[in-house]
Structures are given as C-alpha cells and as structure tokens.
Structure 1
Amino acid sequence: MLAKLGLVLLGLGSMTAWAQDVIPQPAAPTYRGLSEENRQMKRFGLWGGLGFRSVNYGLAIVSAEAAYFLAPDAFITVRASHMGGGASSSSLTTDPDYSYYFADARLHAEGQSQAISYQYFLGNSFFVKAGLENLNMTGRLETFGLMRTHIGDLNQQNALLGIGNQWQWRSFTLGCEWIGAAAPLSYTYSSYDNTVTHRLVDQFIDSKDQVALNLLYFHLGAAF
C-alpha cells in the first residue's frame, strides 16, 4: 500500500514539474532602476521645493506640491508657489519729461502662482513635464532710502515645459527640474502710477510677453 502511495506521489510530482516546463509562467517584472521599482503601487505624493526663475529680472521660488499617480511612470501635480525678487539700477534719469529722477533704484517683484502639470518618466528617474500656470505679480520701484512706488500688477497665464530627474527611495522622493520654460499665453496689466518712468519699470512691464526660464527647481518630500 505504501509503495503504491509513493508511486502516486512520484507521478504527481513528475506531472507538476512537466507542467511547469510546458505551461508558460508569468515573467518577473523588470525595472530600469531602483526609482522605477519604488514608484510601483504609489498613489499620492507631497513635496516642497525651491528654485529660480529668470525673465527680465530674477525671482526665487518657494513651492508646495501635491501629486496623484496615474501610473508608476506618470502623475499629475498641483503646485502653489510664492515668488519674490527683482533687479537694481544705478543709472540716472535725466529726461525732463520724466516726473521723477532716480540715481539708485531697485525693482521689487513679488507674487503667487498656481499650476497644474503632467509629469512622465522616460527612464528610471528622468522625466519631462508640461502644464499650465496662473501667475499674479506686483511690481514696486524703490529709491534707496527715499521712496517706494507701486508701479503695477500683472496677471499672466503661462504654458509650462520642463525636464529633470526624480529619485524614489521607498516613501522618500528627491528631484530637480534642471531647466524649464514658462511661455505666456495671455495677460492683463494694471498700471498704478503712470508718472514713474524708469528702465526697471519697463523691465517689469515687458516681462508680460517674454518667455521665462525656470532653473534648478529642487524638491523633496514623500510618495505613498
């Protein structure tokens, strides 16, 4: 009896081995690297970032961002940013038609933006992104120690493009958009003091229809 049972078990084992050899088995997933592997099963992300924008003047960017993963290699982000910066000038205005004369002046530009973007990974960590941005900026001209004049407000809608890398370690994520562009689609500009004429004022106004460069936007946070 035991001998027959042993033969039956041996036969079942042989049939199982034969089935494993003949019937195709699902292949183990292959990944292009650790970051791609760690993005599997992620659904949401939260991170903060710091970067720079260059247009007719320089701006520092501080942002908070939320992401929703459509797939391990693609997600949508919503970002809220604060921007501040400006430019300075030591030139003297001598045109008699100008109402004010500035020997030293500084442009102060400050505002907020809201953006929605689609980010897609072409490799383990390398990504491309595209999106839309609504930007509100306020410009003020300051003469050093003398006066500060509110020169105008700019509301601008931009198309966004960028490339960078984003690395994933379990839940921790670190990334950098190395370079990007914000191309104006439409704008409205409200002037508050038409009597102030200065090349820094022109720089602020002219930024409304110029492509801005986004540089070295670093972000870190978590994906889960």
Structure 2
Amino acid sequence: MSNPVSVAFIDDHPILLEGLVSLYSGKPDLNIVGQGENAVDALKIVSDLDPDVVVVDLSMPGDAIAAIEILAHDYPRTRILVFTATSSIETAIHVLNLGVAGYVLKGCTAFDLHQAIKTVHAGGTFITPGFATKVIMSMKSAELRHKTERVTRLSTREEQIIRHLMRGSTNREIATSLDISEKTVKHYMTVLMQKLDARNRVEVVLAAQKLNMLSGPATGNGLQANLN
C-alpha cells in the first residue's frame, strides 16, 4: 500500500477548518500534517512541513494570490489546491496560470474534495464539475482572441520596419534610420515573418498589405523590398 498523501489546510473560518481536519483525518489515504488561517501560515507550513498537497482559500487574510505565486515557484513539489467560494472564472484562470493544480468550489461534496486532493497529488488537474466547463471554454476563447490579436496587430516599430521594406531599404539602412542595431532589425524581421506566416521580406510586405495592417498612408513608390 502506498504512503498516505500529506495534506495541509489553510482557511480563516475556524469551524470550517476544524471540520476539514476532523473529516479527512479519518481517511487512511490522507495524512493531515498542518493547518493555518492566512497567507503567511500557508508559506510557513509548506516551507517547514513540505506537504504533498496544500489546500488554500482565496479570501483568507493576507495576499493569497501572492502566496500562491510564491508557493508555485519556490515549492513546486507541493501541489496547490484552491478551495474557495469565489466562482469568478477570471480568478480561476488566473490562479491556474500561476500554477495551481486544482480549483474546487465550496459547496461541493466531501467526496469531490477528497478526489481533488488525490487527483492533484497524482499529477492531474481537478476543477469542480460544471464550473470546469465554463473555465475551459473561457480559456479557449481567450486563447483564440490572443492568437487573433497577435496575428492582426503590428506594433509601431513593426509598421516602421515594413514601410522601410516597401522602399527597398536594407537592414543596415533601416537600423540607421530608426537608430537601432542591425541585430534588432533582424529580430523584428524574424517576428514579422512568424506573425505573418511569411518566408521572406517580400512576403512580409505583401501579407501586411493584404491584411491592411498598416495605419495611415504609405510612403515611397510601392513595393521595392530588398531581398538582402
């Protein structure tokens, strides 16, 4: 039989905390090693006791989000499970991106929280059923928006470089004109080719024109992109 999962609970509601400890102390596959009531306690308990899983609330005293970020970065072995009444999708996505392994809403069953602890300890991710669908859909929508914005938006510097390409300027000429290094120009060229799915300088200009990505009137006498 495998060793029980060592767990610490952090919650600022004494009755709830006492109930969690009492309830799960009777589980043979769990070992409650610590309990606390604020963000500072969470950091100290994980640092001192090295639990397999730490179950934390988001509304406890102190900066819970900052504590989670520190725990995820400095103590990667300990899996973080958020147990909260906060049903904000944005908050859930934010802490998941910080490295939280599970997000369980208060009001769930004792069985769900038990399963969540075991799931995150095994390396998985657990989000309260029902709420999970909303979180996943929101994350997919955000990812799609991010990809679209990344593809269809040019920075001011990228526009400047494309305009120079339209005049047939070399990297050295662009660097001199914009007061940047040739290495920086080459970096921008790489970014532009990736962003516009282009293979060379001419295709960068053509793609930008096709997508109408340049703001304001173009200067110069049309496309004269230098291939060097």
TM-score, normalised relative to structure 2: 0.22
Structure with greater helix share of residues: 2
- Structure number with larger C-alpha Rg: 1
Q: Which has the higher strand share?
A: 1
Q: TM-score, normalised by structure 1?
A: 0.22
